[in-house]
Chains A and B, each alone.
Chain A
Amino acid sequence: DADVTQTPRNRITKTGKRIMLECSQTKGHDRMYWYRQDPGLGLRLIYYSFDVKDINKGEISDGYSVSRQAQAKFSLSLESAIPNQTALYFCATSAGGSSYEQYFGPGTRLTVT
């Protein structure tokens, strides 16, 4: 089984809907991240969590919220989806600080119509 899983893998939703993307990991890592990927822009950090009680905004957190339900689970919510949130979303984990490898999930492709 994959170490980092994301559900759903694909989602189409309408403008104004609330949507949640879920991430689970079996690597036992404390640190978890949410990124979005847009063509030509690479990956941009939305939120990150260094442990269950520590959640921080990334560079593009507006319009998003997160919940760290347990060490293994980190969910991303779009409170009221808008079309420019159409993107590929990745969850990642790491065992420690910035020198450590990040392990990525397979991604969720979100389309907001």
Chain B
Amino acid sequence: AQSVTQLGSHVSVSEGALVLLRCNYSSSVPPYLFWYVQYPNQGLQLLLKYTTGATLVKGINGFEAEFKKSETSFHLTKPSAHMSDAAEYFCAVSGQTSYDKVIFGPGTSLSVIP
């Protein structure tokens, strides 16, 4: 069984500050890990994903995340927040078989203060 926890349902940062959104997962098998973003009144879109290989993954809009197996974490970071980053962010996990389903975390709402 797999699960995802996201520390902090709401995070506020100043424009230009570091963005750090935390994600920890539980999985009995090697995981695939994802970050999705949801802008207001829109569906989710993929920011980045880890499947295999390099544990530091770069995504769109300057975001990146690092898979740390020993910490069962996949935290999302961005060096400098922009107003347009304000959105809901979802971490997700799945197993590696073709029939595994994706399990989403509860989400973290990011606010960017001018």
> A interface vs B, CB < 8 Å?
4, 35, 40-45, 48, 50, 58, 90, 92, 96-99, 101-102, 104-107
- The one of A42, A43, A96, A106 that contacts B98, using a Cβ cutoff of 8 Å: A96
- Contact A48–B104 (Cβ < 8 Å): no
Cβ-defined partner of A41 (8 Å) among B36, B41, B42, B106: B106
Provide the residues of chain A in CB contact with B36, threshold 8 Å: 102
| CB-nearest residue of chain A to B9 | A40
Asked whether A48 lies within 8 Å of B51 as measured between CB atoms, the reply is: no
For the complex, count residues of B whose C-beta is within 8 A of A: 26
How far does the alpha carbon of A112 sit from the alpha carbon of B94 in the complex, in Å? 32
Q: Could you jot down 14 A-B contacts, CB within 8 Å?
A: A4-B43, A35-B104, A40-B106, A40-B107, A42-B105, A42-B107, A44-B104, A90-B44, A92-B43, A96-B98, A98-B32, A98-B95, A104-B44, A107-B43
Q: Is the CB of A102 within 8 A of B41?
A: no
Is residue B100 contacting chain A, with contact meaning CB distance below 8 A? Answer: yes
Contact A97:B98 (CB < 8 A) given known A42-B106, A106-B43: yes
Report the separation of the CA atoms of residues A109 and B100 in the bound assembly, to the nearest whole angstrom.
27
In the complex, the answer to whether A99 meets B49 with C-beta atoms within 8 Å is: yes
Task: Say whether B107 contacts A99, CB under 8 Å.
Answer: no
- A50's nearest neighbour on chain B, judged by CB, is B99
Given A97-B97, A97-B98, A99-B96, output 20 extra A-B contacts at Cβ < 8 Å: A4-B43, A35-B104, A40-B9, A42-B90, A43-B104, A45-B101, A98-B94, A98-B96, A98-B97, A98-B99, A98-B100, A99-B32, A99-B49, A99-B94, A101-B46, A102-B36, A104-B44, A106-B41, A106-B42, A106-B43
